[in-house]
Structure 1
């Protein structure tokens, strides 16, 4: 076979005449070009490390400082105030060189001091967050001066990681402020007796144990880059024993109304090529960090070549000693992906002779996998179920059956791949006579699939369906959704608007037919391992079957009309969710809204507690049943909306509640002390967990002229067994997409009924805020204004 010969660089045989050496020039060329590609990447990394290390100065500024100091020597002035002479006395070099060398050393020290000073100044500037609390459209003089200074100290062309050393550390709030805000947040959820009991617990905690725990936390904040993130990753994500499928992983959808090509292999070709183009941009660090303001880019490092590794438990089975050696493993580089199709795993190299394969060549290779008639080996077909079930059985199976031999090599291949690809044999998307139901099936397919046809441990799995639709499933511990959403937006836009397809729907370009075929991975799965696979699959399947999903596109109005009411779109939607929940359950609940803290170094997320005294007062007034003036309800709504915006800004600027309380709880466990207050706080269920998926790269999509090229956003599973998970995406001026999840096993929840309540709540709020306009039509939103896919 040609590919087998290409894999051998040379052959030799011993004959009576000596050694007969035969070199394969093609294989040696491959080795040379691959080595060159590897060395180029190393050089780029070293270069970027130097540029980032001296930021906000530049390497060339060193030469400027040296020349300036040397120039002063000819004017017989001494800017060093005697330091150059002191250095000159201790140099073991000839007299002729002493003056120049000492001046260069002084210049270098001066340059380093300038860098340190500039970085310190930039760090102080980036600690200013008052601009977030100013009225929209009105900028104070202080903020204008701040913007100008940030631009001056930031330089002209920052790289992706340029700001990392200048970002401020996440501040530790005071115990008093956190406890006060917590009590305020739970007031609408408790009656007077419960609230009085919780107030006493909080006061006792604040006056005694709280100060001791706070001291340890402040010590960590001085030592660590971020006092939350490492514990958050370990205890919230990696210490979990249950399945990460549904409970932790999340998904993102393709375009809602169009599919660029109906050819599965072609869609994969363009898309996979785009992912590697994005990785190339990351390696070069040529992406500007943040948009208007610098954001932490630490999470970007683990987008590709990353896998979650399960670990067995060690230590005593107590709450404070239980430890699972779960880790997130990242490799520097990988030139291949692993593709799953009909129970088989294939390694597909995307680089040939040191160059990235063209989209047409990747399509050609994907089609080879689709046409491959070989059956899966014994136990291979449902192997991925191990990553979908409970974590400890998977860790034990990994140690016992995948730590040596052919299984280890194949598993290493999966875990070290750039990312994972599934070629699904189903059709998905908004299609058929019931587009609403088809979107629900699409969401469930991306969230859990068949429970064995995704590798849930990989940083992300890209799914390509038979009809050309695609989607993404992501593991959560390594980064948060906005980071992967940035990659997904780039890939969708580059696939459709930059690369495109020919008239037949295939990728553009030519194919080198001599490309080595994708390599099918080999497995030797013993019967005992097959039993464990079956058990993990049963656990995962039960979890998947219990998930109730409803996805719909609300097009009666969008942020355009909401903004005309002079209300924040996010605050408007959060009030609608509160109203919908109250109408369905007759009560309020603890509500989680995700907010980012990437204004700080290694920042991840914080919680915005959207159910407030103000929001509950507004909803009770609206639903009170008595005749109330519209102006009163309007006033209460605006107060509630402003309170929500304040809480969101506080969360973003490090003054949130939940991460502080979480870290205090972790410290208490390390110290082996019990806190009734913290224990009760950390055990409260989030029955309404919400998140907004914003479009971050608006310039990539022309939503006004091409409204069909919009993604439906993404979603996640319910956090509480008796609650809802709600993700929403505000698209353009006239569309809001919702993803609602809950569990069939809970008799009190129903995703479709809750969706109906959300629709009505949105209509009622708009009618309240703009009573003079005609009430929107109450037709089903699943009938899109643009032509739906057939």
Structure 2
């Protein structure tokens, strides 16, 4: 209890002389400064919201409008249109100069608001145009007149003012709702290569019955929701796909990201942790001030920035039936885990973010701490890895009050969690197993050394290599990869380390010391924790993860083939899977819908009639290389069209998902929806984006690119494949499956991918 007593900043005692009150002036000063900082942030947030709310207009134009109207009115030489000022003066108490200024100000505000919202809605209408997505961008291709006019209009409306992070939010269109017929036609086309004629005729019959029957009623409710809400999918997707899931987050939901493994600037754990933490805090400040550049496709069309709000200060809290996302507007500390112990680490001092050299001192104090974990503390985070209902009950029963509640609050209300691991993270081109282990460490660790509920957990190896583990419900992987890209670029663009590997700079003061969190676990709590730990071990021991580094060729060769790199890789995966499994499978590829307000993802179905025709041609080996190339190009074009459709709100699966949710609310059964949504995704794929920030010059720092990241398998007998096209000659594939499955083997599938990519190269090189 010594730590608890020393933490008290205010105490009182009743004496014969009266009430004796003692204040710790330093702490009260900190409280005062914290309040001042909080109010400054509120005022700044309000100001930023006003600036974003009037974009593409500016507040300066308001003063100009009011000034112009006042000049027109008082000069008497130029009449104010429609005599608005004079008419307004009739309702004011007098005609003194002061009241005339009021009338001019009100009139100017009205005119300015009218113009501002006209501009905003004009921009919104322009962003509804999607023809530019389908224009050919290759050498010699021509742009249509409609797209040229659209480009000119958007540039005119957005020129002259730098947008803030949320400037475009009010101008983004809503996600369009397809008709039931459109979705049925697309669905039937997507399943044709997966079923025989008899099965296809059956699916056609079910789809027709649904379209002419209950589908009409379900669609009417969705039409109403699409009118009323800003996005007809996102809230239900977050609730039913993520928050209502009762299985553990570890492996099943959370994903991971890896360091820029070609670089290794320091091997000092505390120094690397300090720089990465500091870079994350700089990124948080950019979000808070809305100074982070919004991502623009083709440097013109904005992506929705809604998900950035919850990158920091966010935790997924468990519930009996459904979880909830708890997001705080601010947090002044991080939580750190090391050797089974948890610490609260302040990240501000006297109104500023701590410098890397100051954070390194804090991290080193934690590493040097000889104290042992409290009972149950070591495996505590295994609760966040296990079944959500079990964690919710344990949290209610054992962490609802007292010292456990206080310590849990520190973790859940932290800006993020940092794990100072006691093992190295290694990469050796001659030993692939080391990179595989690196990925496993980040995906699940030891089952108890990641706080899986947190928006993200930074993981730092003893040799200075880093990575992260991220919860998935609050945002999609592209948002975390943007943060990660910023962090790595911030590190390489600045000289943070000296020649020994420590952080540069001199601390201006002794940074606030980390504080050990205190726990008091009763026997039933210890039993729950150990049960969760055992379950976590069973789950992680079943993961088969292989990270394949393909360095024979990359994006450069694919572009020479006049093929979209993503389509190129997806076709290679189709060929690899058929060789591995001997059949085609329903394939999932994630595509974003952030061209629309609050958009998240849509599914692209890479297994198409065209892709299956090419795969069969390659397997049978009877066609000439020219015919195989023609089939491949046709399949890639079809895939690219499917990807574009998904981005433009013309996908299949999110519409079907929402129709199913409505049917469950209405308590009506649909054989068609039930069968469609029960189909397993045995090949689940995703591309990790990079190049989202303009601040990193990859030509100057070609090695400063993350090795990407991955996720666990979606189906028990399937593969999860994440890939990143890391350069002109480098691709990373993160392949996961389950050891308990007799149908899958991640190493075997990696070899099939390597073989497929080699076969495609041979098609073009020996043409």
| TM tier relative to shorter chain | over 0.9
CA distance in structure 2 between the partners assigned to 1:753 and 1:346 by the alignment: 42
Match of residue 72 from structure 1: 72
CA distance in structure 1 between the partners assigned to 2:692 and 2:6 by the alignment: 43
**CA drift at 1:52:** 1.0
CA distance in structure 1 between the partners assigned to 2:608 and 2:442 by the alignment: 34
1:384 aligns with 2:419: no
1:45 aligns with 2:53: no
Does the C-alpha gap of structure 1 residues 127 and 515 become closer, same or farther in structure 2, counting only changes over 3 Å? same
SS of structure 1 residue aligned to 2:82:
coil
**CA drift at 1:195:** 0.3
Does the C-alpha gap of structure 1 residues 629 and 406 become closer, same or farther in structure 2, counting only changes over 3 Å? same
Equivalent residue in structure 2 for 1:276, among 250, 257, 281: 281
Match of residue 312 from structure 2: 304
Does the C-alpha gap of structure 1 residues 698 and 67 become closer, same or farther in structure 2, counting only changes over 3 Å? closer
Deviation per CA, 1:52-96: give whole Å up to 9, x if none.
Answer: 122221111111111121222223544341443332222245655
Indicate conservation of the 8 Å contact 2:488/2:704, yes or no: no
Equivalent residue in structure 2 for 1:184, among 173, 189, 197: 189
CA distance in structure 1 between the partners assigned to 2:3 and 2:530 by the alignment: 36
Match of residue 695 from structure 1: 690
Match of residue 330 from structure 1: 327
Match of residue 447 from structure 1: 443
Indicate conservation of the 8 Å contact 1:249/1:476, yes or no: yes
Does the C-alpha gap of structure 1 residues 675 and 15 become closer, same or farther in structure 2, counting only changes over 3 Å? closer
1:252 aligns with 2:251: no
Match of residue 158 from structure 1: 163
Equivalent residue in structure 2 for 1:263, among 262, 265, 268: 268
Indicate conservation of the 8 Å contact 1:390/1:539, yes or no: no
Equivalent residue in structure 2 for 1:437, among 422, 426, 433: 433
Indicate conservation of the 8 Å contact 1:704/1:732, yes or no: no
Deviation per CA, 1:519-538: give whole Å up to 9, x if none.
Answer: 11111111111111122222
Indicate conservation of the 8 Å contact 1:7/1:27, yes or no: no
Equivalent residue in structure 2 for 1:404, among 401, 422, 426: 401
Range with bigger deviation, 83-92 or 101-110? 83-92
CA distance in structure 1 between the partners assigned to 2:266 and 2:244 by the alignment: 42
CA distance in structure 2 between the partners assigned to 1:527 and 1:18 by the alignment: 45
SS of structure 1 residue aligned to 2:588:
strand
Indicate conservation of the 8 Å contact 1:606/1:652, yes or no: yes
Deviation per CA, 1:341-391: give whole Å up to 9, x if none.
Answer: 111110000111112111011011011011111111111110100000000
Match of residue 779 from structure 1: none
1:145 aligns with 2:145: no
CA distance in structure 1 between the partners assigned to 2:94 and 2:292 by the alignment: 45
TM-score by length of 2: 0.95
Match of residue 131 from structure 1: 132
Deviation per CA, 1:84-123: give whole Å up to 9, x if none.
Answer: 3332222245655443322221221111111111111000
Range with bigger deviation, 247-256 or 150-159? 150-159
CA distance in structure 2 between the partners assigned to 1:13 and 1:460 by the alignment: 44
Does the C-alpha gap of structure 1 residues 415 and 623 become closer, same or farther in structure 2, counting only changes over 3 Å? same
CA distance in structure 1 between the partners assigned to 2:416 and 2:430 by the alignment: 33
Indicate conservation of the 8 Å contact 2:358/2:510, yes or no: no
Match of residue 747 from structure 1: 742
1:712 aligns with 2:707: yes
Indicate conservation of the 8 Å contact 1:346/1:519, yes or no: yes
Equivalent residue in structure 1 for 2:357, among 350, 355, 360: 360
Deviation per CA, 1:312-345: give whole Å up to 9, x if none.
Answer: 13xxxxxxxxxx2x11110000011000011111
SS of structure 1 residue aligned to 2:169:
coil
Deviation per CA, 1:708-745: give whole Å up to 9, x if none.
Answer: 43321100000001100001110121111110000011
Deviation per CA, 1:523-561: give whole Å up to 9, x if none.
Answer: 111111111112222222111111100002101111111
Match of residue 118 from structure 2: 117
**CA drift at 1:44:** 1.4
**CA drift at 1:151:** 2.1
Does the C-alpha gap of structure 1 residues 98 and 378 become closer, same or farther in structure 2, counting only changes over 3 Å? same
Does the C-alpha gap of structure 1 residues 70 and 555 become closer, same or farther in structure 2, counting only changes over 3 Å? same
SS of structure 1 residue aligned to 2:114:
helix
1:769 aligns with 2:760: no
CA distance in structure 1 between the partners assigned to 2:234 and 2:58 by the alignment: 30
SS of structure 1 residue aligned to 2:418:
strand
1:613 aligns with 2:609: yes
Match of residue 634 from structure 1: 629
CA distance in structure 1 between the partners assigned to 2:16 and 2:577 by the alignment: 88
**Structure 2: segments with no counterpart, 5+ residues:** none
**CA drift at 1:9:** 6.3
CA distance in structure 2 between the partners assigned to 1:443 and 1:23 by the alignment: 50
Deviation per CA, 1:604-655: give whole Å up to 9, x if none.
Answer: 00000000000001111121243x2221111111110000000000000110
Match of residue 599 from structure 1: 595
Indicate conservation of the 8 Å contact 1:270/1:499, yes or no: no
CA distance in structure 2 between the partners assigned to 1:6 and 1:536 by the alignment: 34
Does the C-alpha gap of structure 1 residues 602 and 384 become closer, same or farther in structure 2, counting only changes over 3 Å? same
Match of residue 555 from structure 2: 559
**CA drift at 1:399:** 1.1
1:480 aligns with 2:485: no
Does the C-alpha gap of structure 1 residues 176 and 22 become closer, same or farther in structure 2, counting only changes over 3 Å? closer
Does the C-alpha gap of structure 1 residues 577 and 91 become closer, same or farther in structure 2, counting only changes over 3 Å? same
CA distance in structure 1 between the partners assigned to 2:133 and 2:621 by the alignment: 38
CA distance in structure 2 between the partners assigned to 1:231 and 1:117 by the alignment: 32
Does the C-alpha gap of structure 1 residues 190 and 25 become closer, same or farther in structure 2, counting only changes over 3 Å? same
Match of residue 506 from structure 1: 502
Equivalent residue in structure 2 for 1:422, among 419, 423, 436: 419
**Structure 1: segments with no counterpart, 5+ residues:** 314-323, 773-790
CA distance in structure 2 between the partners assigned to 1:577 and 1:112 by the alignment: 53
SS of structure 2 residue aligned to 1:739:
strand
CA distance in structure 2 between the partners assigned to 1:84 and 1:363 by the alignment: 63
1:372 aligns with 2:369: yes
Does the C-alpha gap of structure 1 residues 66 and 6 become closer, same or farther in structure 2, counting only changes over 3 Å? farther
CA distance in structure 1 between the partners assigned to 2:535 and 2:55 by the alignment: 51
**CA drift at 1:585:** 1.2
Indicate conservation of the 8 Å contact 1:6/1:27, yes or no: no
Does the C-alpha gap of structure 1 residues 590 and 445 become closer, same or farther in structure 2, counting only changes over 3 Å? same
CA distance in structure 1 between the partners assigned to 2:531 and 2:95 by the alignment: 78
Q: How does 1:220-235 map to 2 (within 5 A)?
A: 220-235=225-240
Match of residue 108 from structure 2: 107
CA distance in structure 2 between the partners assigned to 1:401 and 1:20 by the alignment: 36
Equivalent residue in structure 2 for 1:524, among 520, 523, 547: 520
SS of structure 1 residue aligned to 2:595:
coil
Does the C-alpha gap of structure 1 residues 380 and 673 become closer, same or farther in structure 2, counting only changes over 3 Å? same
SS of structure 1 residue aligned to 2:541:
helix
Equivalenced residues, count? 759
1:737 aligns with 2:732: yes
Indicate conservation of the 8 Å contact 2:89/2:95, yes or no: no
Indicate conservation of the 8 Å contact 2:713/2:737, yes or no: yes
CA distance in structure 1 between the partners assigned to 2:629 and 2:120 by the alignment: 47
CA distance in structure 2 between the partners assigned to 1:6 and 1:408 by the alignment: 19
